[in-house]
Chain A
Amino acid sequence: MIEARGLVKRYGATTAVDDLSFSIRPGLVTGFLGPNGAGKTTTMRMILGLDAPTQGSVTVGGHSYRDLPAPMREVGALLDAKALHGGRRARDHLLCLAQSNGIPRGRVDEVIRTVGLESVARRRAKGFSLGMGQRLGIAAALLGDPAVLIFDEPINGLDPDGIHWVRTLMRTLAAEGRTVLISSHLMSEMAVTADHLLVIGKGRLIADTSVDDFVRSSSRRSVHVRSPQAAELAARCREAGATAAVAGTDPDIIEITGMDSTEVGKLAAAHGIVLFELIPVRASLEEAFMELTRDSVEYQAAGATR
């Protein structure tokens, strides 16, 4: 359980995190979603006691992180896969972290096996690929067998196999009753990994919702129709309160919103209108996410039309 109350972080004139309140529940994978620069990493750093909030507070299991008597036993975190001494062997890296919390040596070999780094455990970390670094970082987070896990962009740099592995691991950890928080800027990834979403933009909370609700509420639906009597159908739909417009250059193809495909089909039949194509169209999650965060994207390409 992670709880934030009115969390604010300012760096000079910049407000990185702006009055964020949320609680992250155990037993679920919570996706922490937002465009680059939205304040995800800053928030995670405050949860982990690395940065002090300008205002507000955040607790893990009811305690401020810096007051935890054995932090790694309660919270496992991966912030940056490349944040380790390149001259140190992978196993020594894990060992020094384990020792700092009194975690037995045997556990180090256990987590090395869990993440599949046995073959490189005695190699110095500077030769590691980003994917291997991610696995090593995840191993470090698992050392203390903690009830709360926090991962900042854990799939960055992983190959498809690795992504599948992380996804399965996250789901397993949550199913074991742990609190799992993963940040990402990829909506599509969160849709298949997370149960719950925390969406932020420009440091502010935009949505705190289950993935299902998010998909249901924000997906714009429309119906794509091709018909030789498209103009007539469009008029009938408008009469029924929907919107209909020619979608492209072909006047036979129209896009109808405000009615589902069943209703459009019945309407067409009632008026004897011939249909060649009747396709329900659903805006992708990615589009829904972009729609939601459109006003809070920190860095936009020049001339971006959104």
Chain B
Amino acid sequence: MTDATIAPAAPDHRPAFRAATFGDALRSEWTKLHSVRSTFWALTVTVVLGVGLGAAISAAAAHGYDMSSASGKLSWDPTSDSLNGIAVAQLGIAVLGVLFISSEYSSGMIRASLIAVPKRGRVLAAKSLVLAAVTFVVGEVTSFAAFFAGQALISGHAPQAALGDPGVARAVVGGGLVLAALAVLSVATGALLRHPAAGIACMLAVTLVLPAIAQALPDSWRNPVTEFWPTYAGGQLTTVYHSARTLLPWPGFGVLCLFVAIVYAIAWTLLDRRDA
């Protein structure tokens, strides 16, 4: 062996370097997000579902307006109808958010990520923030497109809403906010469960299945669910007409955000403690 001929350890000639920052982590996560095709597809599905379903629901509701009861006309909410597709478009964001981190576990990439950024909370925060920002932009585009498409279809058949009407602008902007909150929830769920299928199933249950089951329950059970279930409560931000036994828009959104914060805190704690 060449043991004896190896030169003694040379002094360190490498240039000085600076500490890695949260901004570095954000840039890294942004590259990760836009460098895989699934991101593009998930966001396309979100926009198509949000705008398409919103338009279909608006058209159907407008055509039924004349035949609806007096109370139906009283609770007529063309803004909410046009934004209804967002409740389903959530799925695109839920899948994207869960996959954004759980695919790192299934591929093993998470080890490279955590070796590069061993401050694990920073990885989770950067992922959440990047996805929330992208989702917010795409969500606002979806929400505004759905609103204008829906109102165009309603116009002539039933009273339509305008952005200047009370509460309407808040509801339309709210569409993007709700999706952004959901993006953070999905990333946290993905980090918590680590497994893509489990994470997506869990998000499906939270956003669609459990609320649907609640509809089948007796009123005494159903009412608290429709009032406080986080995704339900958050959805109040996209409505203008306020019905009884639902939270007001901002408190409703507050309940969603609180729920997101709790899940995020659990995910953060476990990510920090578990072996990767």
Binding site for B on A (CB under 8 A): 25-28, 45, 48-52, 65-66, 68-73, 75, 77, 79-80, 82-89, 92-93, 95-97, 99-102, 140, 144-145, 147, 171, 174-177, 191, 195-196, 210-212, 215
Q: Are B20 and A97 neighbours in the complex by a CB distance under 8 Å?
A: no
Chain B residues near A80: list those with CB within 8 A. 108, 111
Q: Are B108 and A83 neighbours in the complex by a CB distance under 8 Å?
A: yes
Contact with A along B6-40 (1 / 0, CB 8 A): 11111110100111110011011101100111100
Tell me the smallest distance from the CB of A100 to a CB of chain B, in Å.
Answer: 4
- Nearest-CB residue, chain B, relative to A45: B275
Chain B residues near A174: list those with CB within 8 A. 6
Q: Are A27 and B36 neighbours in the complex by a CB distance under 8 Å?
A: no
CB within 8 A of A77: which of B8, B17, B21, B115? Answer: B115
Binding site for A on B (CB under 8 A): 1-3, 6-12, 14, 17-21, 24-25, 27-29, 31-32, 35-38, 103-104, 107-109, 111-119, 273, 275-276
Q: List the 9 closest A-B pairs by CB distance, nearest first.
A: A83-B108, A177-B10, A69-B19, A100-B28, A27-B9, A92-B35, A96-B31, A99-B28, A26-B9
Complex Cα distance A99/B107, Å? 20
Chain B residues near A101: list those with CB within 8 A. 20, 24, 116-117
Complex Cα distance A27/B12, Å? 11
Q: Are B21 and A87 neighbours in the complex by a CB distance under 8 Å?
A: no
**A89 touching B27 in the complex, CB below 8 Å, given contacts A65-B118, A70-B18:** no
- Nearest-CB residue, chain B, relative to A46: B275
Complex Cα distance A73/B14, Å? 9
Chain B residues near A86: list those with CB within 8 A. 107
Q: Are A85 and B104 neighbours in the complex by a CB distance under 8 Å?
A: yes
Q: Are A66 and B27 neighbours in the complex by a CB distance under 8 Å?
A: no
Tell me the smallest distance from the CB of B8 to a CB of chain A, in Å.
Answer: 6
Chain A residues near B6: list those with CB within 8 A. 27-28, 174-175, 195
- Given A69-B20, A70-B17, A177-B11, 15 more A-B residue pairs with CB atoms under 8 Å apart are A27-B7, A70-B18, A71-B116, A72-B20, A73-B14, A80-B108, A83-B107, A85-B103, A86-B107, A88-B36, A96-B31, A100-B28, A101-B24, A196-B3, A211-B3
Chain A residues near B104: list those with CB within 8 A. 85
Complex Cα distance A102/B17, Å? 9
Complex Cα distance A93/B35, Å? 8
Of the listed residues A26, A82, A99, A195, the one surrounded by the most CB atoms of chain B closer than 10 A to its CB is A99
Q: Are B108 and A84 neighbours in the complex by a CB distance under 8 Å?
A: yes
CB within 8 A of A211: which of B1, B10, B27, B273? Answer: B1
CB within 8 A of A89: which of B17, B35, B273, B276? Answer: B35
**A-B contacts, 15 listed (Cβ < 8 Å):** A27-B7, A45-B275, A49-B118, A51-B275, A51-B276, A52-B273, A65-B118, A72-B116, A73-B17, A83-B112, A85-B109, A96-B35, A97-B113, A100-B20, A144-B17
Tell me the smallest distance from the CB of B27 to a CB of chain A, in Å.
Answer: 4
Q: Are A100 and B107 neighbours in the complex by a CB distance under 8 Å?
A: no
Tell me the smallest distance from the CB of B187 to a CB of chain A, in Å.
Answer: 16
Q: Are A50 and B12 neighbours in the complex by a CB distance under 8 Å?
A: no
Q: Are B112 and A140 neighbours in the complex by a CB distance under 8 Å?
A: yes
Tell me the smallest distance from the CB of A302 to a CB of chain B, in Å.
Answer: 32
Q: Are A79 and B111 neighbours in the complex by a CB distance under 8 Å?
A: yes
Tell me the smallest distance from the CB of B206 to a CB of chain A, in Å.
Answer: 26
Complex Cα distance A56/B64, Å? 72
Complex Cα distance A102/B25, Å? 9
Complex Cα distance A11/B14, Å? 39
